[in-house]
Structures are given as C-alpha cells and as structure tokens.
Amino acid sequence: MRTVYLDNNATTRVDPLVLEEMLPFFSERYGNPSSMHSFGGEVGKEMTLARDRVAGLLGCDPGEIIFTSCGTESDNTAIRSALEANPDKKHIITTKVEHPAVLNLAKNLVKKGYHLTMLGVDSEGSLDLEELKASIRDDTAIISVMWANNETGTLFPIREIAEIAKSRGVLFHTDAVQAVGKIPMNLSKLPVDFLAISGHKLHAPKGVGALYVKKSTPFRPFMIGGHQERGRRAGTEAVPGIIALGKACELAQNNIAEENESVRFLRDRLESGILNSIPNSRLNGHPTERLPNTVNISFKFIEGEAILLLLNEHGICASSGSACTSGSLEPSHVLRAMGVPFTFAHGSIRFSLSRFNTRDEIDFVIAKLPPIIERLRSMSPYSE
C-alpha cells in the first residue's frame, strides 16, 4: 500500500542530502569538537559551517545561534532566561493558541508565583494588537508569541509584535518552529530577542534544534556545565544532528521559493478540492495569512479520529485537531480559542505538506476523502 504523508507539521522525512552529509559523523568523523587535537578540531570546523548555514536561513549573525536538542528546549531556555535576567519582573504574556512547549511552561511558572496573561484570538486565529498593548505592565518580563500556529498555520504579525515589545522595554520571544524554512526571515532587521527552531520540522532528524539570541539581549543559560556553545549551553554537542540541521537550513533557504509556489499550489488544490466536494466543511485559520503548507478543515457532526482511521486504511497520514484522547472529549485548545462551533471542532483534520509531496498524492486524497466523510455521517445520529 502506498503512503501519502501529509503530516509534516508533526515531523518531516530527513532529506536524503541531509542524511548523506551527517552519516560520516557517526563513524569516520567522530571526534569531539572541544578536543585540542586536529581530529576533533576538524569536526569543530564543520560545526562552524553548520552554524553559518542556520544563520544564513534566519538572516542573523552566526554568533547569535545556540544549538539545542529541540524546539521545546529552545522555548524553555528563552523564557527562563528572560525571567532570570529580570528577577523583579513577574509577568508573562503569551497567547491561548501557543504550542504546549510555551503554554504549559507558562502555566507551570504561575504555580511558582508568576503572573500570566493569555491573549485571545479571533475566528481566523489572529491576535488583537490593541489587546496586546493594553496587557503590558511595568513588571512584564517577556512576551512570547509563536510565528505560525502549528494547527492552523495562521501567521502572526511578528514585526509589529516585536516592535510593540521593544517600545515598552519588554523582551520578545517567538516559537518559530513551524515557520522556519517555509517563509523568508531576516532577523537582522527585526527586534526579536529570542527565536526557537526544531530540526525535524524542516527535514533534519529529531533531537536537534537551535535558539537565536540577539546580541544585545541579556542571556542566562539553562544548561549549566562545560564551556560548549561559548558557555551558553553546556553538554557535548550532538554533532551529527548539528551537521544535519545546518544542511537542512541550507536546503530550506534554497527551496523557499518552491515552498511558497509549488507547495502552496498543492495546498490550495487540496483545500479547494475538499471544500468544494464535501458539504458542511469549513476552513480553520486565516484564509491568506497562513503557512504555505498547512490546511486545517473541520467536518460537521463527525470525529476527527474516525476520519484519520479511515484515511489510514488508504495509507494517508494526517492529524486531528482534536485532543480526544484518554477519554477526554475536549477539542483542540486552538480551535476552542478561535470559537469554532462544537459541532465542527471535533471533526477537524490538519493536512500539512512538504516539497516531497506530489500532485498525484493530492488528487488521491481528494478522491478518497469524500466517501469517508459520507460513510461516517451516515452512521452519525447527529448528521443532517
């Protein structure tokens, strides 16, 4: 059975060119980059190249890049650093639609005495910047707003948010895990203090990420120990992953135009094919200000998990916007924040594409999905 993989916001395949570049660092080139001998020193030079490649994609100085294990570590490091650098400030601002790496950390910090403001979103998942301005207090330590939502793909106005934060003397962090490599960035021209990325979202392996820290931003390390990463992140570097992340960033930079043309074309074809052929379906997220690879659609009166199970029988991989696990009947926190009607919220499916998808795969999904929805609705006691 063929596999049609449309779950790239969950994880991506490792690009063959990335795999080829990282493999020698498991065997032939296994030196420790912190060693004094040339065998390790040569590995250190390759790490420098990887750092340059990450910086090239982000439009920043290589010295502003810290390698981490994942996006979650990067998010945690940034937020905790901001709080530690400003011990008298106990207020955090974020949104109701953040990834758990930010949202659950913020909620955990409330238990330790911090104050939290969670900004709402409108029906398209967009922020009200006036609400943001009104939420900033004298004791606000950090504002954390994701660049692109992982469920709907909705893009946030990062420049405007960062400028608001800067004008009030507040540090700004963005979880850009879903956005990096999909839309152009130039951090040298943005007042962003911290930015988190994750390798496995842009065709590098799992287990490697990076944190951008602007040169002028006060920083307190999360990992304490050795001198690695110029004392900013202790621990022997995961060299193969770092090499892979560097190559993936180079390829992403070279493929930005394709991401925003070819991948967007396939996404739009899938979106229109579904919405035009299936009644009582609706798009979740902003219609235009959205990642070029992401479409989230809800189907009235049916459960997303049931749709996924039947898609899986055809080898189609997607994900549900519903958190109906372990007996919970609560839909996605993102869709709830957007005010998606309950009858739609449970039946949401996210399709997320990559440059490895084809038109034939998209047409295959468009052909298979309508009978699945019709079958499930015929069994639903609530369908019209």
CA angle (377, 151, 366) in 5-degree steps: 45
> From the centroid of its chain, how far is CA 375?
33
Per-residue confidence (pLDDT) for residue 383, from 0 to 100: 60
Which residues fall within 8 angstroms of residue 265, CB to CB, at 6 or more apart?
none
Q: How many CB atoms lie within 10 A of CB 276?
A: 10
pTM, entire model: 0.95
**In this structure, are residues 203 and 180 in contact, taking their beta carbons and an 8 Å threshold?**
no
Q: What 8-state DSSP symbol labels residue 221? A: -
Domain 16-254: which CATH class?
A: alpha beta
Active site residues: 324
Per-residue confidence (pLDDT) for residue 323, from 0 to 100: 42
CATH 3.40.640.10 domain range(s) in the chain: 16-254
**Fold observed for domain 256-379:** Aspartate Aminotransferase, domain 1 (3.90.1150)
Per-residue confidence (pLDDT) for residue 384, from 0 to 100: 56
Over the Cα atoms of the chain, what is R_g?
Answer: 21
pLDDT, averaged in runs of 10, over the chain (384 residues): 96 98 97 94 96 98 98 98 98 98 98 98 97 98 98 98 98 98 97 98 98 97 93 96 98 93 97 98 97 97 94 97 48 94 93 98 98 93 64
CATH 3.90.1150.10 domain range(s) in the chain: 256-379
Residue 379 one-letter amino acid: M
